A and B are shown apart, each in its own frame.
Chain A
């Protein structure tokens, strides 16, 4: 009996100096906790405050009405909005949103934005929401001021690139009640006519640089 106990002590004493390596060795068989970030991204929470997005109505018209409430709510003064009137007349700038006005210039400075989401709370038309995108690093300050074309939601199925008229026989209210589901054939025909007219104008003046009708038109 006494001899057995003696031998136990002998063995434990013998392996004591290397016992710690056992912990290291066992760790090799454990699941790795590290997030392999650039290759495998862990999804964010669904309501994560990431980059902003300017949403569209189902027919492609913009939801932003240029009210500047987001800019007023912003504690960091990161948002710049300049509204303009929608112009349905012949040869006018065109219609971008269903209502009276739209956001002609929309800029968010991501080097000021603190992603607090007050702008989203302030937005009366749910035009401004946040995405889960967070990879925004860049090498200069100018490129981190996002313009409207970078913030606008992509065109989905059934959407048409504004400017184009509203769905015939609807009011702004109908848009917010969800009565417009997609672009109508009349709208599509209108956009097609505009494109053809623009193409024809381009063919006439191939030698001259064409003044693009890009929205905003604001230099950084």
Chain B
């Protein structure tokens, strides 16, 4: 139907977005942000037994300025929340956040005044990972889910459009404080 039909054999067409997405997902560098017991499992993912380097995550960056993925591993206390936000702000764009474990994702069993009830109150989260703590395979699975998201992310005008659409959807959605049942 398009240019694909007229090409000689041996040519492969793709979009800039797909190529950029492939490049980006192939070398995501995580920032170390271990807060509690989940961090132990996160460290286990770095060992040869699970070997996170297979997914292009060669090492956990000690500085947020050289990282583009924040794995929030553990419960976030109210006192830690501004620090978490600062680390996130110091990371260069494009950046992603995995909320590892139930405490980071929703407060988990710590439904009390000291713990932030979900790290998405502080930073935008791309992948939520249940588990207490999640086993290393679960974290790798979350990383693969994130890879899928990065691969399909938009660029340029499309990115602006996608962001507008997401914002519009967020404005129309029921706010968390108005939700009933388990989402409250």
Task: State which of A35, A107, A116, A141 has its C-beta within 8 Å of the C-beta of B128.
Answer: A141
- Segment 6-52 of B: residues with Cβ below 8 Å from A: 48-51
Nearest neighbor of B105 in chain A, beta-carbon distance: A111
- The reply on A192 being an interface residue by CB < 8 A is no
Q: How far is the CB of B48 from chain A (nearest CB, A)?
A: 6
Nearest neighbor of B129 in chain A, beta-carbon distance: A137
- The reply on B92 being an interface residue by CB < 8 A is no
Nearest neighbor of A32 in chain B, beta-carbon distance: B48
Q: How far is the CB of A205 from chain B (nearest CB, A)?
A: 31
**Is there contact, CB below 8 Å, between A145 and B131?**
no
Q: A116 CA to B132 CA in the complex, in Å?
A: 9
Q: A113 CA to B128 CA in the complex, in Å?
A: 13
Q: How many residues of B contact A (CB 8 A)?
A: 34
Which residues of A are found within 8 Å of B105, using beta-carbon distances?
Answer: 111, 141, 144
Q: A197 CA to B24 CA in the complex, in Å?
A: 55
Q: A134 CA to B145 CA in the complex, in Å?
A: 14
Q: A107 CA to B169 CA in the complex, in Å?
A: 25
Q: A80 CA to B182 CA in the complex, in Å?
A: 7
Task: State which of A33, A44, A76, A139 has its C-beta within 8 Å of the C-beta of B149.
Answer: A139
Q: A110 CA to B118 CA in the complex, in Å?
A: 13
**Is there contact, CB below 8 Å, between B49 and A139?**
no
- The reply on A41 being an interface residue by CB < 8 A is yes
Q: A201 CA to B128 CA in the complex, in Å?
A: 43
Residue-wise interface mask of B (59-102) relative to A, using a CB-CB cutoff of 8 A (1 in contact, 0 not)? 00000000000000000000000000000000000000000001
**Is there contact, CB below 8 Å, between B106 and A111?**
yes
Q: A36 CA to B51 CA in the complex, in Å?
A: 9
Q: How far is the CB of B141 from chain A (nearest CB, A)?
A: 5
Residue-wise interface mask of A (68-81) relative to B, using a CB-CB cutoff of 8 A (1 in contact, 0 not)? 00000001111010
Which residues of A are found within 8 Å of B137, using beta-carbon distances?
Answer: 35, 37, 41-42, 134-135
**Is there contact, CB below 8 Å, between A112 and B145?**
no
Q: A38 CA to B55 CA in the complex, in Å?
A: 11
**Is there contact, CB below 8 Å, between A33 and B108?**
no
**Is there contact, CB below 8 Å, between A110 and B144?**
no
- Segment 101-145 of B: residues with Cβ below 8 Å from A: 102, 105-109, 111, 118, 120, 126-132, 134-135, 137-138, 140-142, 144-145
Nearest 5 interchain pairs by C-beta: A114-B132, A76-B109, A137-B142, A111-B106, A110-B130
B interface, CB within 8 angstroms of A: 48-51, 54, 102, 105-109, 111, 118, 120, 126-132, 134-135, 137-138, 140-142, 144-145, 149, 181-183
28 of the cross-chain contacts (CB-CB < 8 Å) are: A35-B50, A41-B137, A44-B135, A76-B102, A76-B108, A78-B182, A109-B106, A109-B182, A110-B102, A111-B105, A111-B106, A111-B128, A114-B102, A114-B108, A116-B132, A134-B134, A134-B135, A134-B137, A135-B138, A136-B138, A137-B141, A138-B145, A139-B126, A139-B149, A141-B106, A144-B128, A144-B130, A145-B182
